[in-house]
Structure 1
Amino acid sequence: MPSSRRLPFLSASLLPLLSLLLLTLFTPQTHAIKFALQAYRYPPAKCVWNAAHPNALVIVTANVGPGADQRVDIEIIDSSPAKNVYLSKRNIKGETRLAVTAHSEGEVGVCFRNHLDHNVPSEQASKKSRIIDLDVDIGADAVDYNAIANQESLSGLETEMRKLEGIVKEIVDELGRVSTVVITASTNARVQSFAWFTLASLLGLGVWQIFHLRAFFKRKYLID
């Protein structure tokens, strides 16, 4: 019986989050961007950030265009307090494909630095840059289902079912996280309500004690 009373509350609380979650998960989690990376002798990092959940597979495909007297380095990090560095690679050229697994809730950043050769004159430095074509696949979209289909001899329908299985698993995991957040918020609200009730009760008890003692002393003719 207690569970039947609790279900409507959870359903109403989770409905907007569930709708947003379904829309997010059924939207391809592939993030593509193309930009020019300016070269510097002491280059700052240019990072592209994407949200990722713990244990989510992240596939980074970086295609670096040609450019003389330049060296492009790549680093994959996250936004957690630990500032995890998943990998770091120097002097990438052409197409580079990297795979990491997110350790914590937050964002995974793909950072580039374009180092300019010290032999390049200062007046030519502003003309030096490399074109970066970046694709980041996260979660179920990062899995190479074509390779799985070839390895396991799956039909087209079986491959699609395997994709749906991965998406459903992400939904279940995300619902577990959302439910934990909702339950924690509900528990905090109950604790806060109980604290206010306790404070009001103590204040009421204190006022009653004052009037009770005043009446007692009056009966004993100790006060007017």
Structure 2
Amino acid sequence: MPSPRRSPFTTSPFLLVAVLLLAFLASPAHAIKFSLQSYRYPPAKCIWNTAHPNALVIVTANVGPGTDQRVDVEIIDSSPAKNVYLHKKNINGETRLAVTAHSEGEVGVCFRNYLSHDVPSEKASKMQRIIDLDVDIGADAVDYNAIANQESLSGLETEMRKLEGMVKEIVDELGYLKKREERFLGTNVSTNKRVQTFAWFTLASLIGLGVWQIFHLRAFFKRKYLID
């Protein structure tokens, strides 16, 4: 009598544990809380997070109260094109922003706290606002509760959908690392060939210079009748 067919998760519990561990490691927390000093001409304070192309980025910024101050937010990336995804002025309270990464690299959330010109300079050093920032990228940014309500998914199905998204991120990350390894390997091979070519050229130049010196010195000594 054939044995009943088992689920792959029951036959491979260690595989499930490994996938869950990798999913946990691949989804670090991106929450941070900091104080933003105000200036009349403020520098940008940027928080950077790694994102892959076409990855969904959800930015939730909770800006604390502060009189005579204006906080602007800008989302950019570190690509050579320096893409600016959005720019929003005078945010207050909780603000939720969503963008999609265009290129490989880091996505930066930049804040500037502008001080009103009516504030005396001696009070400017005490003017600041507290910002609570939470950045969700990729699978972390997907609202699985809304998907579960829309598709009438059970709790287990929702968790499996989350796990599927995390595993997809891990596969994409491994594919990205493989491409980087191939690119670095190509760079190493090309550099090695150039070094070898330069070494052979240097050796040939030294040999040629040595032969020229021998003939030159031989001709010089003949002119001086030092040798036959």
Sort the TM-score into its range (normalised by shorter chain).
0.7 to 0.9
1:192 to 1:27, Cα distance in 2 relative to 1, 3 A: closer
Measured after TM superposition, the shift of residue 189 of structure 1 is: 5.0
For the aligned residue pairs, the C-alpha RMSD in angstroms reads 2.8
**Counterpart contact for 2:23–2:170, Cα < 8 Å:** no
Deviations 1:26-66 (Å, cap 9, x if unpaired)?
34333111111111111111111111111111110000011
Cα distance, 1:199–1:76 mapped onto 2, change above 3 Å: closer
Who is 2:3 aligned against?
Answer: none
Mark the CA change 1:31 to 1:146 in structure 2 (over 3 Å): closer, same or farther: same
Question: Runs of 5+ in structure 2 lacking a partner?
Answer: 1-17, 208-228
Partner of 1:76: 75
Letter in 2 for 1:144: D
Letter matched to residue 73 of structure 1:
D
User: C-alpha deviations, 1:152-205, integer Å up to 9, x for none?
Assistant: 1111111011111111211222222222233344445556667788899997xx
Pairing 1:119–2:118 present: yes
Report if aligned partners of 1:78, 1:85 keep a CA contact under 8 Å in 2.
yes
Kept in 1, the 8 Å contact 2:23–2:167? The answer is: no
* 1:97 aligns to 2:86 (yes or no): no
Contact 2:50 2:106 in 1 (8 A): yes
Q: Which residues of structure 1 form unaligned runs of 5+?
A: 1-18, 207-224
Aligned length: 186
Residues 146 and 24 (structure 1), Cα distance of their counterparts in 2 relative to 1, 3 Å cut? closer
Does the CA contact (< 8 Å) of 1:78 and 1:108 recur in 2? Answer: yes
Which has the higher Rg, Structure 1 or Structure 2?
A: 2
| Contact 2:50-2:107 within 8 A present in 1 as well | yes
CA distance in 2, matches of 1:187, 1:127: 54
> d(CA) in 2 for partners of 1:66 and 1:145?
32
Structure 2 distance, partners of 1:35, 1:120, is: 23
Residue number in structure 2 paired with 1:221: none
For residues 45-84 of structure 1, the aligned pairs below 5 Å read 45-84=44-83
Give, in whole Å, the separation in 2 of the partners of 1:188 and 1:101: 30
Residues 30 and 141 of structure 1 are in contact (CA less than 8 Å); yes or no, is this contact kept in structure 2?
no
* Corresponding position of 1:155: 154
Residues 121 and 176 (structure 1 numbering): CA distance in 2 closer, same or farther, change over 3 Å?
Answer: same
Alignment of structure 1 residues 171-190 onto 2, 5 Å: 171-188=170-187
- CA shift in 2, pair 1:189/1:115, >3 Å: closer
Q: Structure 2-normalised TM-score?
A: 0.72
SS at match of 2:113: strand
